[in-house]
Amino acid sequence: MKNKSLRVIRALLSVLLAAVLCGCEALRYAPPEPGDDEILLKIALDLEEDVGLILVDTEMNGRKTYGGSSNADRSMIKRDDVIYYSVTREDHGVGEDVSSTVLSVRIRVVTKYFTPNYENDYPEQYVMPTEELTFSASFGNSYGITVTGNNVKGYTARLFSGTE
């Protein structure tokens, strides 16, 4: 009888532990929410191969910015990763009185890993740009961009609702 009770308690504790760990994992990967002073780009990769870097060029209010994403451990970015990229008022010189604006975004895929640099200067043969996307964007909102393609035919970027 005592062994049976002990097994039931162990089973309940195991279920409870599993529930707690699953809950923590879900919280750990919750997507970020944009702040009132930023536009958040959710860049969903749907590529045929892993890539080295994703560069993001933006233009708003006559000001251009250049940034991007890489893995801190110098590994390739997975072909199906999702990258969150923030575009801020401060970076583009947009005042608090502006709630929406026209945003242009160009994604450049670097097919081989290179150590990131502030100039975003990489060998041309490894950098493949997408067409520029231009759309009306509001601060405090998120916008989805899907990047598809491969290093032979090139890459394409398109806007999506963010709920796909």
Give the type of residue at 147. V
- pLDDT, residue 93, reads 86
Asked whether residue 14 carries a pLDDT value surpassing 50, the answer given is yes
Say if residue 20's pLDDT is above 70.
no
Instruction: Quick: pLDDT tens for 92-104.
Output: 888 888 888 999 9
Would you say residue 22 has pLDDT above 90? no
Confidence of residue 141 (pLDDT cuts 50, 70, 90): very high
- Encoding tokens for residue 78? 């997975």
In Å, what is the CA distance from 33 to each residue of 58, 155, 160? 20, 27, 17
Relative to beta strand 100-110, strand 38-47 is unpaired
Looking at the chain, list the stretches that DSSP marks H as alpha helix, in order from N- to C-terminal side: 2-28, 89-92
pLDDT score for 130: 97
Please give the residue that has the higher pLDDT: either 107 or 6: 107
Task: Name the residue ranges covered by the structural domains of the chain.
Answer: 1-30, 38-160
How far apart (Å, rounded) are the C-alpha atoms in residues 32 and 43? Answer: 13
Report the share of the chain in percent with pLDDT over 90: 65
In this predicted structure, what is the pLDDT of residue 43? 97
**Residue whose structure tokens are 């958040």:** 40
Domain 38-160 carries which CATH code?
A: 2.60.40
